[in-house]
Structure 1
Amino acid sequence: MNAEIVGLFVLSVVCDVAGQLAFKLGAGSVPAPGKGQWGAFARALVATPWLIAGIAVYVAEFLIWIRILALVPLAVAFPLASLNILGVLGASRLLLGEKLGRNHWAGALLIMAGIVLVAGSL
């Protein structure tokens, strides 16, 4: 794997983690859509800075992902993109203070093992 591909994967994972964090931080500002509240819900979606930031980061990630797919077979790229799961777990623990149990860590280790197997096929 060359430096461009590694860099693109790192950027993709960073964007995905940042986007998920932004969505989580903005989600508390959006009222639950209910009967007669769809207007308030829609206005909150487009007026919440964290949600706008999350969308902007996902647009950047989309562009990065398209470049990755131009360089790497989908059967390799998609499993490697699972690194975002590990990034989100770590960020939710470190930055949001969320509690993670044994099952989270066991799942993360299994994901990591799969990523190592797929990356070894390059």
Structure 2
Amino acid sequence: MHWLHGRVGTIVLWALLIILESGGQIASKVGGDQLGQMDFSLQWLQGIVMTPGVWVAVACYIGAFFVWMLILRRSSLSLAFPLSSLVFVGVLLGSWLGLGEQISLLHWIGVAVIMGGIALLAEGEEH
């Protein structure tokens, strides 16, 4: 596990975070769709417990929490938090590829702006 402490490990952790956070958002959407149009009630809460998409989302968020803790041990919060906005890109791509959602040109421009901002932040980071 020594590789985890180097640059490759950092890249792997970031990839895991983006995958888990994006997966959690997409699973939440799927879980909500599986629940259908229910009002907030005891039946709705019971439905949540029985819905696979909700369980996948919870597992993703728990995994993401632990990965985030590992990332924060090696990165400054002032860089790590803005980099976590890559999750927006992951959710957009996942909803487009996995859920068949239509993505507007404006959304794609937003992705480009996020990526540009992250590149600027990374460039300004002291090594």
TM over 0.5: yes
1:94-113, aligned counterparts within 5 Å?
94-113=97-116
Deviation at 1:80, TM superposition (A): 0.9
1:10-25, aligned counterparts within 5 Å?
10-25=15-30
1:71-82, aligned counterparts within 5 Å?
71-82=74-85
Q: Which runs of 5+ in 2 are unaligned?
A: 1-5
Deviation at 1:54, TM superposition (A): 0.7
Match of 1:7 in 2: 12
User: Number of matched residues?
Assistant: 119
Give the percent of matched residue pairs that are identical in Structure 1 and Structure 2: 34
1:79-94, aligned counterparts within 5 Å?
79-94=82-97
Deviation at 1:97, TM superposition (A): 0.8
Letter in 2 for 1:45: I
Letter in 1 for 2:38: A
Residues 33-62 of structure 1: CA deviation (Å, up to 9, x unaligned) = 24xxx1011001111011011101110000
SS at match of 1:86: helix
TM-score, normalization by structure 2 = 0.88
Give the root-mean-square deviation of aligned CA atoms.
1.4
Letter in 2 for 1:8: L
Is 1:53 the counterpart of 2:59? The answer is no
Is 1:42 the counterpart of 2:45? The answer is yes
TM-score, normalization by structure 1 = 0.91
